[in-house]
Structure 1
């Protein structure tokens, strides 16, 4: 935990220095933040701050690819826009358990089109998969970027809420899902799923339900 605190503090100090001392123009703020995200993602991939300094031989864990989640993303997000080719390539790596490569493909896409909400959503999902279900600071930032770039789209809020719920942040997940469920068409599948998930969260928050899966 301390490792994350240190690296995030350094990133914020660097950003502050560029803004206050380097007088970075406002038009470059988004690209600068994206560059810092890449640095944080690289830190997450290359090291584990919770490990001691003595060397260890790590076992490679194979993370199963979630076909259902990929299908949901394709149903909620843009399947035919500029991001589609990057998402298809990323899914291919994910199916082979190559979560780092799956995220790297999307980072390459972001370098070309940093304003694409679908790519930000994809990198959020990819970072969560790479972290074994953990909602890292990089993944959290990616979901927020996707929601900012596409405030009316359901996919960023749906998957951000899912990641929050899996991370145990139930109230935050409910806050993402409740407005989305209210605005969804009455006969839509997504509305039923959201209402069921919200009911489970309410039961858990009141101590009456099992842990959300």
Structure 2
């Protein structure tokens, strides 16, 4: 059926060019060859039976990037806000340009391998680039961030979130529970983390409708 449509369209285009637009008869052979070349290219590369891969609107992706940057900055220190690499990478991430952000952050950690905030931002950028799915590269970045700043809540918080987003709920919960257990009683992030864990537990127990994710 697909090939009939392709050939039919080719004949229609040829007819329009040759007769409706009155192309010179001498050019008909060239026109036909061009159309046949197009059909041959479709035969080599076309995949009419392959399902489509719809992508999220750019606005939605940008909103997620903006929220992720704000969340990371909330858990970080004010001293990190002046890092030029982070400023540039955060601006890119806010607009959904996660691959570019990760590249900028690669330069930051090359200059300073102990830059925990850059490693953390890189982990988030890699997860964002993979549309919310954790990868070995992002796990490595989170690990480097945790090594550089073992007392920071950022690396385990975002590692746990990435695991949960990827469907690895038990692993993500374990990371979050460990962070909560070693957080000081007066830690500013403790209340929010406790709430997220409770919501995750309800979700894992089937207390929420299928497909409804815990609050982020």
**Structure 2 length normalisation: TM-score?**
0.64
Question: For each residue in 1:158-183, what CA deviation from the matched residue of structure 2 results, as whole angstroms up to 9, or x when unmatched?
Answer: 11111111111111111111132234
Hey, what does 2:207 align to over in structure 1? 208
Q: 1:59: how far off?
A: 8.3
Hey, what does 1:180 align to over in structure 2? 179
Are the structure 2 counterparts of residues 54 and 79 from structure 1 closer, same or farther at C-alpha, using a change threshold of 3 Å?
Answer: farther
Hey, what does 2:119 align to over in structure 1? 120
Contact map agreement 1:203 1:209 (CA 8 A) in 2: yes
Higher alpha-carbon Rg = 2
Contact map agreement 1:90 1:106 (CA 8 A) in 2: yes
d(CA) in 1 for partners of 2:196, 2:113? 32
d(CA) in 1 for partners of 2:62, 2:99? 13
Are the structure 2 counterparts of residues 59 and 112 from structure 1 closer, same or farther at C-alpha, using a change threshold of 3 Å?
Answer: farther
d(CA) in 2 for partners of 1:73, 1:82? 11
Structure 1 spans left out of the alignment, 5+ residues: 1-52
Q: Which has the higher contact order (CA 8 A, sep 6+)?
A: 1
Contact map agreement 2:117 2:145 (CA 8 A) in 1: yes
Contact map agreement 1:78 1:118 (CA 8 A) in 2: no
Hey, what does 1:17 align to over in structure 2? none
Are the structure 2 counterparts of residues 155 and 83 from structure 1 closer, same or farther at C-alpha, using a change threshold of 3 Å?
Answer: farther
Hey, what does 1:161 align to over in structure 2? 160
After TM superposition, list the pairs within 5 Å mapping 1:1-213 onto structure 2. Answer: 54=45, 62=58, 63-65=61-63, 66-81=65-80, 84-186=83-185, 188-210=187-209, 211-213=213-215
| Backbone CA RMSD of aligned residues | 2.8
Q: 1:155: how far off?
A: 0.9
Q: 1:81: how far off?
A: 4.3
d(CA) in 1 for partners of 2:54, 2:66? 24
Contact map agreement 2:75 2:189 (CA 8 A) in 1: no
Are the structure 2 counterparts of residues 126 and 76 from structure 1 closer, same or farther at C-alpha, using a change threshold of 3 Å?
Answer: same
d(CA) in 2 for partners of 1:127, 1:141? 11
Contact map agreement 1:83 1:109 (CA 8 A) in 2: no
